[in-house]
A and B are shown apart, each in its own frame.
Chain A
Amino acid sequence: MRGRPMQVSEKDKKKATATPTEECGDFLRIADLKLKSRLLLGTSGYPNPQIMMESIAASATQLITVAIRRVNLQDRDREGFMHMLTSLPVDLLPNTAGCYTAKEAVLVAELAREALETDLVKLEVIGDDETLMPDVEQLLKAASDLIRSGFTVMAYSNDDPITCKKLADLGCAAVMPLASPIGSGMGILNPYNLQLIRDIVRDIPLLVDAGIGTASDAALAMELGYDGILLNTAVSKAKHPVQMAAAMRHGVEAGRLAYLAGRIPRKFYAEASSSMSGRVEVSSD
């Protein structure tokens, strides 16, 4: 056998090039959306528009977030962002970033629906500037109002199981607890809570949104059974954003596959993987 090249069948060659999770027919479904990629990417903070576009491509994302802001009426030439986005094969997910009350968030969501012709909204209602943690009272009120108005609400939440359950019960299309504060890159601070949320909220997609620092954070969230990851800063502020976008893509795919494959139970003591049967016996001195 030595020196003989390994034979690779045509079927295996095909397997090697297909996206693993795609091959399983494993899609992320959010309301009417059917996404091959489980990675949602933000568009803020890249060194320049070209790197943003290349990062979006490298991540293979199909859903990108945008903010809703005043048009620059003094310099319309600087309004090229929308034009750039329309050339991409992705859907847009407008957010309500910067809103501190349900009233503000509802108005921004309505403006987004009118501007972008989508019912999708990433609902953010922030409690304070230091932590950027959600204001739960206002978040629940905004979610309720928007769902009643026909929006497909993807709610950014803190990692509190009860709040996430309430958001799911209200009829949110997805609930998105944070891993750690927005832009902190601290990764998953409380995997226990994220696991509890997954156990409690079974029927709708759960995504980890905010705080992801690197690809292993994304993989860990997916291994906990999360349906997807939404991140921005970890890519846009990486030393090499395009490479990090690719790393995140692979991290999310690896984590998803590992979750589907099922990890082995943890054991306190070692267990040899090589059988003791047929072991060479050597006489003792």
Chain B
Amino acid sequence: MNVQINGLKEQIPFESSLEDLLRSRQIDPASARGIAVAVNEVIVRRNDWSSKAIQDGDAIEIVTARQGG
């Protein structure tokens, strides 16, 4: 299915959870610190990453802290 990840169009397997998607991007939910995720502009809390099913057309934002003033 087609999704947008951090603004880029990508294809991922059907029936992927958010956790599957993050693992495929080398983000291990157990050890990842300082990362937050929103799907379609709604925060998905860390505890819900494994149960959150990704749908065709979803927009996923994966963010962290960067240098800022």
Report whether chain A binds chain B: yes
Say whether B43 contacts A110, CB under 8 Å: yes
With an 8 A cutoff between CB atoms, is A59 at the interface? no
Q: Complex formed: what's the CA distance from A110 to B51 in Å?
A: 20
Say whether B62 contacts A85, CB under 8 Å: no
With an 8 A cutoff between CB atoms, is B63 at the interface? yes
Task: Using known A-B contacts A43-B68, A107-B41, determine if residue A68 contacts B63 with beta carbons closer than 8 Å.
Answer: yes
Q: Complex formed: what's the CA distance from A44 to B35 in Å?
A: 19
Say whether A66 contacts B43, CB under 8 Å: no
- Nearest CB of A to B66, in Å: 4
Mostly, the A contact residues are: mixed
- Nearest CB of A to B4, in Å: 11
With an 8 A cutoff between CB atoms, is B5 at the interface? yes
Q: Complex formed: what's the CA distance from A112 to B34 in Å?
A: 9
- Pick from A66, A76, A182, A183: contact of B66, CB below 8 A: A66
Interface size bucket, A side? 35 or more
With an 8 A cutoff between CB atoms, is B46 at the interface? yes
Say whether A44 contacts B65, CB under 8 Å: no
- Pick from B6, B7, B38, B46: contact of A111, CB below 8 A: B38
With an 8 A cutoff between CB atoms, is A116 at the interface? yes
Q: Complex formed: what's the CA distance from A85 to B66 in Å?
A: 10
With an 8 A cutoff between CB atoms, is A158 at the interface? no
> Per-residue CB proximity of A231-257 to B under 8 Å, as 1/0?
011000000000000000000000000
- Nearest CB of A to B39, in Å: 12
Q: Which of A92-100, A134-142, A184-192 touches B?
A: A92-100
With an 8 A cutoff between CB atoms, is A42 at the interface? yes
> Per-residue CB proximity of A71-85 to B under 8 Å, as 1/0?
101001001011001
Within 8 Å CB of A115, what residues of B? Answer: 34-36, 63-65
Say whether A82 contacts B5, CB under 8 Å: no
With an 8 A cutoff between CB atoms, is A67 at the interface? yes
- Nearest CB of B to A184, in Å: 13
Chain A positions near chain B (C-beta within 8 angstroms) = 42-46, 52, 65-71, 73, 76, 79, 81-82, 85-86, 92, 94-95, 97, 107, 110-116, 182-183, 232-233
